[in-house]
Chains A and B, each alone.
Chain A
Amino acid sequence: MNNGRPIIEARGLSKVYRMGNVAVPALRGVDLDVERGEFLSIVGPSGSGKSTLFHVIGGLTAPSSGSVRVDDRDLSQMSEFDRTRLRKRTVAFIFQKFNLLPNLTARDNIAVARYLAGVDKKPDPQFEDILKLLGIAQRLDHKPSALSGGEQQRVAIARAIVNRPAILLADEPTGNLDTENSTAVLELIRDLNERLGQTILMITHNPEAAAYGHRTVHMRDGKIVGE
């Protein structure tokens, strides 16, 4: 769907968590537009609300107030069922800790994502090219415990893009990797953005990593404080 509107539009977005009787505001009125095909880096100290913003955009939790439209759908009006559907095809996550299913091989980890999205057939030829680009084509029959950190993150990237989601949310994707693997993963993410026109939001603490994005937004205390 492309009607010229940003793929992500957040207005006055807030999220308040309840810890017993205490209300903990994690987002305090975020306004954000992300264009289709944009690679946006989000930086900020711990507790600034970066991950919460991802969780809301990714449909893992509902916003407390404000509005957020993702691919022209209003998340604040969505039921849990609708948000689950959103995660199947529209958004995908890449995590710092890779978060592969430890009992399944790399191939099955990718297949699970396709199965859950209702696409239970072989990936298209272009995806095979991407697997080669990711450099894991020979490692697909190994379980995560037999893969290096860099390889695990590449499998996680493959899993994230296998259904061609509109938005890729990468939460500190290089946080658990050494410099060499970090560079490789960042190059891959940028390549995916350029090659597929994939919209990418990436959280990072590392200014060098942030520089891979088209632009960088800074968050502090649950707000966007600058670009």
Chain B
Amino acid sequence: MTGKIVFENLKHRPMRTLLSALLIAVPVTLILTLVGLTRGMLEDSERRARGIGADVWVRPPGTAFATSLSGAPIPEKMVDFLQQQPHVRLALGTVVQATEGVTFGVTGVDFDRFTQMSGGFQFVEGGPPRAPNDIIVDQYYAGQKELHVGSTFMMLGNRTWRVSGIFTGGKLARIILPLRIVQELTSSSGKVTQIFVKLDDPKNTDIVIAQLKMKLPDYPMYSMEDLSSLYNVSSYAGLNEFITVIVGLGVVIGFFVVWLSMYMAVLQRTREIGILKSLGASNGFILRTIVAEGLLLGVGGTIIGIGLSFGSWWLIRTLVPASIQMVIVTSWWPIAGAITLVGAGLGALYPGWNAARHDPIEALAYE
């Protein structure tokens, strides 16, 4: 019967119920979108690093794993040095130049060596650059910018580039140029940003890294096996704290929405509370119905919030697939739900307590 009373109360004012649930859904969507973006970006980074086909990743001295790379601080002769080390089959240097609105910037790579290492790019349109102003982009960037083979666009200053090929995403970067061209454009001839190393056998990775670290103690090195643990929220300074703040906001918003909604509901239902008390309803029963109603709003808000997170996912995928990546993280649905229910439950407590201590005679006289 408690459930029926709660359900009928929610049904009686559908607009209030819908608006409350929608407002509760906002932080749920926010949390799920943020987590989805974080996870999506990390997974995308990991997938693209793995797509290179290397076993060891060498980064410039003084850079932490989670910092983005730009500029070319490593002498290119380091590539040759690594190439000559035991168990090394191939070393590949790339130059990364940051550019607006796209993750991983523009990357310059030696196409032949990259093909040897990874098997090369899989083109869905066109092929590798032939002319000095040719450039290749991945499907996501092409989709976002509506580019096709032969399309031109400006980038890296006022230079106009012609798309010679569009490749499937998931390898290295979204925008690729020949290594020498990027080096010339960025005045970094003879230097690279990072080096990828392919070994004769991945089983030798630990031995090679140990040896290289003795010879190049200043250079951070990672095995591709480490990537899963490295592409983690805790690797990025402040990201965990940011998520915590958003989660906290979720609780606070859920609390205030339910508090306000239930407070108004209790005011509107003063007489009904008096009726229930005249029938013998205890204070606990009144409190229970109000808290149950708040929690039900929380459940509704969670469901709508999950639905809206699919909307965020679709919008991002449709409008800016090259800039940001989002995935649907189902494991966070119960977490977002629990966060919302905590806020909603707390928010309903005061109105519920207020309703429970209504004087039945005054409540019955309420017009």
Contact = CB atoms under 8 A, between A and B. Distances in A.
B280 A60 contact: no
A116 B281 CA distance: 6
Interface stretch (A96-104, A131-139, A175-183, A190-198): A96-104
Interface residues of A, number: 30
A87 B281 CA distance: 8
Interface string A85-129: 111110011010001111110001001110111001000000000
Interface in B1-19: 1, 4-5, 8-9, 11-12
Contacts of B278: 58, 60, 87, 93, 95, 99
Contacts of B8: 103-104, 108
A88 B278 CA distance: 8
A103 B279 contact: no
Contact of A84 (B9, B280, B364): B280
A112 B361 contact: no
A60 B276 contact: no
Nearest to A100: B275
Nearest to B274: A99
Contact of A104 (B5, B274, B282, B364): B5
Given A87-B279, A88-B280, A115-B1, A103 B12 contact: yes
B125 interface: no
Interface string B265-298: 0000001101111111111010000000000000
A61 interface: yes
B360 interface: yes
Contacts of B12: 102-103
A164 interface: no
Given A87-B278, A99-B278, A101-B272, A55 B11 contact: no
Contacts of A92: 279
Contact of A111 (B1, B283, B359, B360): B1
A159 B278 CA distance: 12
B115 to A, nearest CB: 71
A174 B1 CA distance: 30
Contacts of A80: 283
Contacts of A99: 271, 274-275, 278, 364
A101 B276 contact: yes
A99 B276 CA distance: 10
B285 A103 contact: no
A103 B1 contact: no
Nearest to B285: A116
B338 to A, nearest CB: 29
Given A102-B272, A112-B279, A116-B279, A60 B5 contact: no
Nearest to A159: B279
Interface in B237-288: 271-272, 274-283, 285
A116 B276 contact: yes
Nearest to B282: A84
B9 A87 contact: no
Contact of B280 (A87, A102, A108): A87
Interface string A142-179: 00000000000000000100000000000000000000
Nearest to B271: A99
B280 A85 contact: yes
B166 to A, nearest CB: 60
Contacts of A116: 276, 279-281, 285
Contacts of A60: 277-278, 360-361, 364
Given A99-B271, A112-B279, A120 B1 contact: yes
Interface string B96-136: 00000000000000000000000000000000000000000
A208 B47 CA distance: 90
Interface centre among B5, B275, B280, B282 (most CB of A within 10 A): B280
A81 B281 CA distance: 10
Contacts of A100: 275
A171 to B, nearest CB: 10
Contacts of A81: 282
Nearest to B2: A115
A69 B151 CA distance: 95
Contacts of A88: 279-280
Interface centre among A58, A95, A116 (most CB of B within 10 A): A116
A196 B283 CA distance: 32
A88 to B, nearest CB: 3
B10 to A, nearest CB: 9
Nearest to B359: A61
Contacts of B279: 87-88, 92, 112-113, 116, 159
Given A100-B275, A102-B12, A116-B281, 17 more contacts: A55-B361, A58-B278, A60-B360, A60-B361, A61-B359, A61-B360, A81-B282, A84-B281, A86-B280, A99-B364, A103-B272, A108-B1, A108-B8, A112-B276, A115-B1, A116-B276, A159-B279
Q: Top 9 nearest A-B pairs by Cβ distance? A: A88-B280, A115-B1, A87-B280, A103-B8, A103-B12, A116-B280, A99-B275, A60-B360, A113-B279
11 contacts: A60-B277, A60-B364, A61-B360, A87-B279, A92-B279, A95-B364, A99-B275, A101-B272, A102-B12, A111-B1, A112-B1
